[in-house]
Amino acid sequence: MSIRFGTSGWRAVIADEFTFENVRSATEAICSYLKGSHSGSSRQTLIIGHDTRFMGEKFMATAAEIARKKGFRVLQCEEAVPTPALSHAIRQERAAGGINFTASHNPPEYQGIKFSTGDGAPALPEVTQQIEAAINGSEQASDSEGGSIESYDARTGYLADLSGKINFKAIAEGRGGFGYDPLWGTGRGYFDKVLRDHGLEVETIHDWRDVTFGGQAPEPGEEHIGELRELVKSKKYLLGLATDGDSDRFGVIDSNGQFITPNQLIALLTDYLAESRGWTEGVARSVATSHLVDRVAKERNLTVHETPVGFKYIGELINKDAIILGGEESAGLSIKGHYPEKDGILACLLAIEAVTVRHATLTEQLEHLYQRVGKLENARIGVKLTPDVASKLKEKLSQEPAELSGRKIDKINRMDGVKFLFANGSWMLMRPSGTEPLVRIYAESESRKDVETLLDAGKNYLLS
C-alpha cells in the first residue's frame, strides 16, 4: 500500500492498512530521514509513545526496537502519552524527533502515527514527502551500534512546564469545581492531576482505559460530551472540560450547559490573552476558522496570519514568536511561549483561567465580545469523498465563478481548497479533509439561517 501523511500524520484502520508490516516500513523511513538530516551528529535520541488505542503498546515496542537497531537512544514512554506532552519531551530532551502512535479523534478502529521533528512540531509537508518517498522506495537506514531503549516519564516535566504558563494562583482564589471528560484517552492523569496538584476540585468521568472509547470516536464535540454537560449542570460546576484521544483537542461546556465552540473559544482567548498578558504580537487562524478572530484582532491591534489547515503551519509561527495564539476550528490551539503543537489540556486550563480571572462565565464573556465586535455564526458539513465527488471537487477547485447561488463572489482564496468570500463578510469554503475520507464544507455569516443557505449552496455546487 501507499502510506500517506495527511494534515496530522498517517492514519488507517487496524489490521486493514495499519499493520505491523506497514508500521515497520514507516518507522524505517522515519529513521532513514532522521539519519540523513542529522548526518553530522552523534547518537540521536528518539521519543516514542502511544495513546490508549488497541495495540498501542505493541506498535510502540515494534518501532522502538527498529530505532534501537539503527543506533538511536529510544526514550519509550512508560504510559499512554498526550501528543503535546510528547512535544514537550522532544524539546526538553533535545531529541531528533518523536513518534506517537495515535489516531487522535478518529473512531476506535483506527490507529495512526504522528511524527514530530526536533522542534516538537508536526512534521511539515517537505519532511513527510521525504518519508513517503523512503517508504515507497523501501529505503532503510543502516544498522548501527550503541542503540538503547529506556523507559521515560513524559508527565512530570510537562505538567511542571504548564504550571509556569497558567495563572494557577488566580484560579485557586476562585470558588467552584470543574468536570472533566478525557473520553477514555490520554488526558486522564494529566489535566485532572494538574488541577488537583494546585488544590482545585475536579470530578473526572470515563477515567479508565477503553479501547473502544465507549463505542464512539474520542472527539470532544458537542454530540460526544452529553454526560459532561449533565455533570456540570447537576453539580453546578464552573466549567466542563474535555480532551480527545491524544489530548491535542478540546471541548468546553459552560456552567449553564452551553457548548462553547472552538471558534468561540479561540476568539475569546485571543481577547483574554491580549488583555491579561499584554501581548501585542499577531494571531493565527486556519483558512477554515472563524473571522471572529479577525474582528478581535482588529480591535486589539493584532496582525492576523491566515494559514492552510494543519497545525504545523501555525506551529511555524509559534516557533518564530510571531503570534500570541494560533487556533483551528477543529479544536486545536497553542500560545506564545508554548510548543508548536496543538494542546487541548492547555486550552482547557486557559478557559478556566479566563473565567476565574474575569469573574464572568464564558457565555457572559461572549455576549460582551459580541457587543463590541459583532456576532458571527458558522458551521460545517461533510460530504463523503467518493471517486465521483473527488473528480467533481478537482473540477470545482479550478473554476472561477462570479457568483454562487445568486450571491456575488468578491474574492476567491485558494490557500487550501477553495474559499468564496462575499460582499457582506460571509464566506464558504470547500476542501478535502486531511484525516477522513470527506469533503468539508464550511460557512460563516451573521445569521444562522444564512449559514445554512451557504452550506446548501456549497453542497449543490460541489455535486452539480
- Phi, psi of 442, rounded to the nearest 5 degrees: -115, 150
Same domain, 192 and 213: yes
Supply the DSSP symbol for 122.
B
Same domain, 326 and 177: yes
Residue 5 domain flag? no
Say what the pTM is. 0.94
List CB contacts of 158: < 8 A, sequence separation 6 or more: 82, 84, 85, 88, 89, 190
Same domain, 75 and 187: no
**What average pLDDT does the segment 16-28 reach?**
95
Same domain, 138 and 259: no
Which pLDDT score is estimated for 121? 94
Which pLDDT score is estimated for 388? 84
Supply the DSSP symbol for 118.
T
Same domain, 64 and 111: yes
Mean pLDDT of the chain: 94
Which pLDDT score is estimated for 42? 47
Supply the DSSP symbol for 364.
H
Same domain, 269 and 402: no
Which pLDDT score is estimated for 398? 84
Same domain, 285 and 308: yes
Is there a contact between 8 and 246 (Cβ–Cβ < 8 Å)? no
Residue 3 domain flag? no
Any bridge partners for residue 14, and if so which? 18
Domain residues for 448? 377-463
Which pLDDT score is estimated for 8? 75
Is there a contact between 350 and 272 (Cβ–Cβ < 8 Å)? yes
From residue 4, how far is each of 116, 346, 434 by CA, in Å? 15, 29, 10
Which pLDDT score is estimated for 97? 96
List CB contacts of 308: < 8 A, sequence separation 6 or more: 286, 287, 415, 416
**Residue after which a domain boundary falls, among 100, 128, 155:** 155
Residue 121 domain flag? yes
Please count the other Cβ atoms lying within 10 Å of the Cβ belonging to residue 455.
18
- Residues constituting the chain: 464
Buried b (16+ CB within 10 A) or exposed e, 99-122: bbbbbbbbbbbbbbbbbbbbbbbb
**What average pLDDT does the segment 89-101 reach?**
97
Same domain, 299 and 187: yes
Is the model more confident about 388 or about 356?
A: 356
Which pLDDT score is estimated for 84? 98
| Distance from C-alpha of 293 to C-alpha of 349, rounded to nearest angstrom | 20
**What average pLDDT does the segment 26-41 reach?**
81
| Distance from C-alpha of 105 to C-alpha of 143, rounded to nearest angstrom | 35
Same domain, 402 and 342: no
Give the model's confidence band at 39: pLDDT under 50 very low, under 70 low, under 90 confident, else very high: very low
Domain CATH number, residue 433? 3.30.310.50
**What average pLDDT does the segment 294-314 reach?**
96
Supply the DSSP symbol for 215.
G
pLDDT tens digits for range 154-192: 999 999 999 999 999 999 988 889 999 999 999 999 999
Which pLDDT score is estimated for 40? 42
Residue 393 domain flag? yes
Is the model more confident about 390 or about 150?
A: 150
Same domain, 132 and 222: no
User: One-letter amino acid identity for 1?
Assistant: M
Same domain, 67 and 132: yes
Any bridge partners for residue 307, and if so which? 286
**What average pLDDT does the segment 427-449 reach?**
90
Residue 2 domain flag? no
Which pLDDT score is estimated for 43? 60
Residue 205 domain flag? yes
Give the model's confidence band at 1: pLDDT under 50 very low, under 70 low, under 90 confident, else very high: low
Same domain, 207 and 250: yes
- The total number of structural domains that make up the chain: 3
Which pLDDT score is estimated for 437? 82
Which pLDDT score is estimated for 139? 73
Cell of 175: 470558588
**Residue after which a domain boundary falls, among 331, 353, 373:** 373
Domain CATH number, residue 337? 3.40.120.10
DSSP 3-state percent helix, strand, coil across the chain (nearest 5): 40, 25, 35
**Residue after which a domain boundary falls, among 348, 373, 398:** 373
Is there a contact between 313 and 232 (Cβ–Cβ < 8 Å)? no
Is the model more confident about 227 or about 398?
A: 227
List CB contacts of 103: < 8 A, sequence separation 6 or more: 11, 51, 53, 110, 111, 112, 245
Is there a contact between 147 and 70 (Cβ–Cβ < 8 Å)? yes
From residue 261, how far is each of 204, 286, 379 by CA, in Å? 21, 15, 10
Is the model more confident about 436 or about 148?
A: 148
Residue 49 domain flag? yes
Is there a contact between 130 and 31 (Cβ–Cβ < 8 Å)? no
Buried b (16+ CB within 10 A) or exposed e, 71-92: bbbbbbbebbbbbbbbbbbbbe
Which pLDDT score is estimated for 399? 86
| Distance from C-alpha of 30 to C-alpha of 141, rounded to nearest angstrom | 9
Which pLDDT score is estimated for 41? 46
| Distance from C-alpha of 460 to C-alpha of 372, rounded to nearest angstrom | 35
**What average pLDDT does the segment 322-340 reach?**
97
